[in-house]
Amino acid sequence: MTTPPATPLRVALVNGGFEEPVLNASFEILPDSTQSQARKVPGWITTATDHLVELWRSGHDGVPSAVGTQFAELNAHQVSTLYQDLPTTPGTKLYWKLYHRGRAGTDVMALDIGAPGAVVQQRTFSDGNTAWGFYTGTYTVPAGQTLTRFAFRSVSAAGGPAAGNFLDGVFFGTAPVVALEKTVSPAGPVEVGSVLTYRVRATNTGGDAAEALVLTDAVPAGTTFLPGSLRIVDGPNAGAKTDQSGDDQANFDATGSRVVFRLGTGASATQGGALANTAALPTGTTVEYKVTVNTASGGGRITNTASATYENRLAATPEQLTATSNQTSVDVRPTTDLTVTKAADATSVTVGQTVTYRITVRNTGPNPATGVTVTDQLPASLVFLSAESSTGAYNLATGQWPVGALAHGATATLTLRAKATTPGRVTNTATVTGSESDPDQTDNADSVIVCVAAAPVCAAQA
């Protein structure tokens, strides 16, 4: 017993519009697809004993195509059936549509669908020679039927056995099924301030075209859209002009904080187009946009999912369908904003006096800081006396104060005492570093200038 696939097989006729091969004359009678000749009609098989199919070019003998530039005549040299056999999944709902027209008068044709050798008449079509009749319907594949024949059978023709029953714009198959695949680069971890590039590929794994296709992607929380980064990478609209204000097939919707791409053949600035299935467009269409990682994302994860809306126009009324992409995730390395301030109890002293420095380091977040180290190397004109700190111990040899971990919003202090030994301007700087990224380093150092004057002359020595 054969287990049917979890996902129904895509079903779509080959050459449903009879556009192949391109005719060399206003009409040609060519071998069907079972024959070995180089020029033959792809997809279609006829029960006629001569294996010939007749194709007309639009306008021949005053008859226009219903769609495209070519169409077929069911009655070529004989009364016959024209068909295709397609692999199918039992239980699948298939749609059909077609145009039919008489040639010399009113012609009648039957539509037969079923397993080869056991087809069932679905409907008959009777049309005159003044206009094309358009018809639609559905067919559900019965249990156990893995091969389905879709056939047109000539019932009668006003012009006789070899003249009648025009066919065009034929479709038989599954509805459109849009699949979205999303990627982000770099994959992470990334730093605050990094630029992320998102790409979304849309493919249609169904039978018919996905109509009115519009892809939207909310700009992830904790990021900012990068103006001018909208791009249609490949597909029907590759290279189309896109920008942040809205032009042609893409725009950034600032109100909804999202990017909007209108995709497929015939897409415009206001509506989506038609995306062919992967038989005709194997790689589908791919779009791209970029964002900048905000400080608020530090230490977190940026997740994002794209979605699309489209229509199945095989139904009696357009059926609104949706698709959702996989979720992308990017980890952002923790970030902290460490600040250091330094003050002295006096900025003007004399030789021999003590200068007391107070150094304060603060973590303004958004994440906890680790490996926090303050460096404050005393200049040669100051002699170290003592150090007191709220955490860690000051190392005179290196001038480093290992603060260690500092929670968001926490502070630590160091008090240094030193004796002034040499007159002049003494500049002393404290600098802070940490293990995490610090996007704003303008406040990672602070300096104090102390003026040291010569010691006053004792009155007894004057």
Question: Per-residue pLDDT tens for 370-412?
Answer: 999 999 999 999 999 999 999 999 999 999 999 999 999 999 9
Structural domain for 448, as ranges: 336-453
Do 324 and 376 sit in the same domain of this protein? Answer: no
What mean pLDDT is predicted for residues 446-451? 94
Average pLDDT over residues 254-273: 93
Total domains in the chain come to 3
Identify whether 11 is part of a domain. no
| Residues ≥6 apart with Cβ < 8 Å to 113 | 96, 119, 120, 122, 139, 148, 149, 150, 151, 172
Q: Considering only 27-41, 72-86, 137-151, 236-250, which range has the smallest mean pLDDT?
A: 236-250
**Position 437 confidence tier, pLDDT thresholds 50, 70, 90:** confident
Write down the pLDDT at residue 3: 42
E strand spans, 102-209: 107-115, 118-127, 133-140, 147-156, 164-173, 178-185, 195-204
Task: Say whether both 143 and 212 belong to one domain.
Answer: no
Residue 460, domain member (yes or no): no
**What number of helices (H) and strands (E) belong to the chain?**
0, 33
- Give the whole-angstrom CA distance, residue 62 versus residue 73: 14
Read off the pLDDT band of 248 (50, 70, 90): low
Q: What is the pLDDT of residue 246?
A: 42
118 and 183 both lie in a single domain: no
Q: Is residue 21 part of a domain?
A: no
Q: Are residues 320 and 348 in the same domain?
A: no
Residue 254: give its domain's CATH number: 2.60.40.740
Instruction: Examine residue 321 and state whether it is found in any structural domain, yes or no.
Output: yes
Last residue of a domain, one of 173, 203, 221: 173
Using alpha carbons only, give the angle 188, 194, 197 rounded to the nearest 5 degrees. Answer: 70
* CA–CA dist 207, 148 (Å, integer): 15
What average pLDDT score do residues 242-267 get? 81
CB within 8 A of 280, min separation 6: which ones? Answer: none
Answer yes or no: do 349 and 221 share one domain: no
pLDDT confidence band for 436 (50 / 70 / 90): confident
Q: Is residue 145 part of a domain?
A: yes
Give the per-residue pLDDT at 241.
Answer: 58
Confirm if 113 and 139 have CB atoms less than 8 A apart. Answer: yes
pLDDT over 80 (residue 30): yes
Q: What is the phi-psi region of residue 280: left when phi exceeds 0, alpha when psi lies from -120 to 50, beta otherwise?
A: alpha
Distance from chain centroid for Cα 274: 17
Confidence of residue 242 (pLDDT cuts 50, 70, 90): low
Are residues 107 and 126 both part of a single domain? yes
Q: Pick from 287, 308, 331: which residue ends a domain?
A: 331
CATH code of the domain covering residue 341: 2.60.40.1530
- Read off the pLDDT of each residue in 236-259 and give the average, rounded to a whole number: 75
Q: What is the tens place of the pLDDT at every residue in 173-218?
A: 999 999 999 999 999 899 999 999 999 999 999 999 999 999 999 9
163 & 305 share domain: no
CATH of the domain at 90: 2.60.120.260
184 shares its domain with 306: yes
Stated as kind and residue range, the H or E segment containing 306 is strand 306-312
Q: Report how far residue 331's alpha carbon sits from residue 8's, in angstroms, rounded to the nearest whole number.
A: 37
Give the model's confidence band at 2: pLDDT under 50 very low, under 70 low, under 90 confident, else very high.
Answer: very low
Q: Which of 152, 173, 194 is the last residue of a domain?
A: 173
Identify residue 441 by its one-letter amino acid code.
Q
* Residue 259 included in any domain: yes
Rounded (10°) CA dihedral 60, 64, 65, 71:
-30
The pair of structure tokens assigned to 92 is 């699948």
Type of residue at 274: A
Element of type H or E holding 292 = strand 285-293
Residue 149 lies in a domain: yes
Same domain flag for 314 and 237: yes
∠ CA 77-83-84, nearest 5°, is 140
At residue 237, the pLDDT reads 81
Q: From edge to edge, which strands make up the β-sheet containing 107-115?
A: 45-46, 81-87, 147-156, 107-115, 118-127
Between 3 and 105, where is the model more confident?
Answer: 105
**Pick from 80-84, 147-151, 232-236, 302-306: least confident:** 232-236
**Same domain, residue pair 148 and 216:** no
List alpha helices for 239-362, DSSP H.
none
How crowded is the C-beta side of 276, counted as CA atoms within 13 Å? Answer: 11
Q: Do 318 and 364 have their domain in common?
A: no
Residue 12 lies in a domain: no
> Is 430 in the same domain as 417?
yes
